[in-house]
């Protein structure tokens, strides 16, 4: 990636790499975080998210590569001089101090006038639902309360660059859901630049302007949540995002160019212009939301038996037979029960053809470009 030196770049990583005892935890990471942007590093445990963040924060020396903040190299600048706000998984708060004192601490260090300090702390206590706890000592709080205090004491200082590493991991589902909205609102109001580490796709999808999906130390795709969901670049991204996971169906591609066709065990010889995928055995990816189910047969449908119904509340997920495989299909609650016969069909325009060898997925415009 070419180095950008325009004023709207807050953070830039250039070929950032970290090797631990021969294990490449982060591989040549290139990333630009724009001012005011909320970008998430999303990936499974051990993919290198925290290592990336620790290098940006200054806790870990990179093996090679460069980190720039506001266009200036900071790779060898000490932590305290990087002017970064941090909340890590193993958050730290002062256990002997009251919650109010915890929140005031950073503002006192910044020499913010007293009246303004108090006002800001009250404001954030309200936003993060801490008002009833202001007199309690840090050590008296439960995990969820401590996590909110850790978040609040950094947010009150309004850092120019905020690094958050799984800051909601100790919260229950309901609190996480409400805090997601609150955090996004605070970030937008303050125009704060945030790099957020999570393995939770809902957190990443709901809060981020862009997401970097990582696996084995590599940034596989950096794009908007919509693009990550609808236009995944490869099989890993397609399978990591979406609940239920995308259906992956074995298929065979025949012909080439405009006469290319795709066959699955059930659907035979369907025109599917891919151009860049060579003939042979490949994989067709289709999301449960893009499969249509009906009680009666319809044009192009195939009969399928419901093997399992998963209750998602507002929707149900049917697991239905498709040749030797099972497909997941989203339906309205009550649509079918286990053992019922239903009729399903999908439109190939919603499907992704995955190159079986490389795992790459090409989208229509890229197919044109690569053809």
Question: Which residues contact ligand ATP by CB under 6 A?
Answer: 20-21, 23, 25, 43, 45-51, 199
Contact 192, 186 (CB under 8 A): yes
Closest CB to ligand ATP among 21 and 296?
A: 21
Question: 14, 66 in Cβ contact below 8 A?
Answer: yes
Shortest CA distance to 136 belongs to which of 124, 122, 126, 146? Answer: 146
Q: Phi first, then psi: give them for residue 77, nearest 5 degrees.
A: -85, 135
β-strand partners of 73: 68
Please identify, using beta-carbon distances, which residue of 156 and 212 lies nearer to ligand ATP.
212
User: Do 224 and 210 meet the contact criterion of CB atoms below 8 Å apart?
Assistant: yes
The residue with tokens 């995002």 is 241
* For ligand ATP, the closer CB: 50 or 247: 50
Structure tokens at 132: 């009833």
Is the CB of 6 or the CB of 45 nearer to ligand ATP? 45
CB of 89 to ligand ATP, least distance (A): 7
H or E, element range at 187: helix 173-190
Q: How far is the CB of 30 from ligand ATP (least distance, A)?
A: 17
**Euclidean distance between CA atoms 236 and 233, whole angstroms:** 8
Kindly list the distances between the CA atom of residue 357 and the CA atoms of 43, 56, 278, 281, 282, in Å, as whole numbers in the listed order. 22, 35, 10, 9, 8
Closer residue to ligand ATP (CB): 43 or 138: 43
| Residue 94 vs 216, nearer CB to ligand ATP | 216
C-alpha to C-alpha distance for 12 and 31, rounded to whole angstroms: 6
Contacts with 156 (C-beta within 8 Å, 6 or more apart), sequence order: 103, 106, 107, 120, 121, 124
Minimum Å distance from CB 199 to ligand ATP? 5
DSSP letters spanning 221-232: EEE-HHHHHHS-
Q: Which two tokens stand for residue 256?
A: 């080439």
- Given the complex with ligand ATP, which of 23 and 92 has the nearer CB atom? 23
Q: How far is the CB of 20 from ligand ATP (least distance, A)?
A: 3
**Shortest Cβ 211–ligand ATP spacing (Å):** 14
Closest CB 43 distance from ligand ATP, rounded Å: 6
CA distance 55 to 272: 45
**Token pair listed for 361:** 């997925």
Question: What's the gap between Cα 55 and its chain centre?
Answer: 20
C-beta of 25 vs 253, nearer to ligand ATP = 25
Min dist. Cβ of residue 130 to ligand ATP (A): 26
Q: How far is the CB of 25 from ligand ATP (least distance, A)?
A: 3
């Amino acid at each position: 990636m070419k180095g950008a030196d325009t004023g709207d770049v807050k953070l830039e990583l250039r070929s950032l790499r970290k090797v631990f005892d021969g294990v490449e935890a982060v591989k040549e990471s290139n990333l630009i975080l724009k001012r005011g942007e909320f970008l998430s590093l999303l990936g499974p445990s051990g993919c290198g998210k925290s290592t990336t963040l620790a290098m940006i924060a200054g806790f870990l020396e990179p093996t090679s590569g460069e980190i720039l903040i506001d266009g200036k190299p900071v790779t060898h600048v000490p932590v305290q001089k990087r002017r970064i706000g941090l909340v890590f998984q193993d958050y730290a708060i002062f256990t002997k101090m009251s919650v109010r004192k915890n929140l005031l601490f950073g503002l006192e260090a910044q020499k913010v006038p007293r009246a303004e300090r108090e006002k800001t702390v009250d404001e954030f206590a309200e936003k993060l639902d801490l008002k009833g706890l202001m007199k309690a000592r840090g050590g008296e709080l439960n995990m969820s309360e401590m996590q909110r205090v850790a978040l609040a004491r950094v947010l009150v200082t309004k850092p120019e660059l905020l690094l958050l590493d799984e800051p909601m991991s100790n919260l229950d589902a309901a609190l996480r859901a409400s805090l997601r909205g609150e955090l996004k609102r605070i970030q937008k109001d303050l125009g704060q630049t945030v790099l957020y580490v999570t393995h939770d796709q809902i957190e990443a999808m709901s809060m981020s302007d862009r997401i970097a999906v990582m696996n084995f130390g590599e940034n596989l795709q950096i794009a908007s949540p919509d693009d990550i969901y609808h236009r995944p670049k490869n099989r890993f991204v397609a399978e990591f995002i979406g609940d239920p996971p995308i259906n992956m169906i074995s298929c065979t591609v025949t012909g080439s160019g405009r006469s290319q066709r795709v066959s699955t065990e059930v659907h035979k010889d369907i025109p599917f212009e891919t151009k860049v995928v060579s003939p042979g055995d490949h994989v067709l990816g289709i999301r449960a939301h893009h499969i249509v189910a009906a009680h009666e047969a319809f044009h192009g449908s195939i009969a399928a038996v419901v093997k399992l119904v998963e209750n998602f509340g507002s929707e149900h997920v049917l697991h239905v037979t498709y040749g030797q495989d099972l497909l997941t299909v989203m339906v309205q609650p009550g649509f079918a029960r286990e053992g019922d016969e239903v009729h399903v069909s999908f439109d190939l325009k919603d499907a992704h053809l995955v190159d079986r060898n490389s795992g790459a997925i090409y989208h229509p415009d890229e197919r044109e470009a690569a053809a």
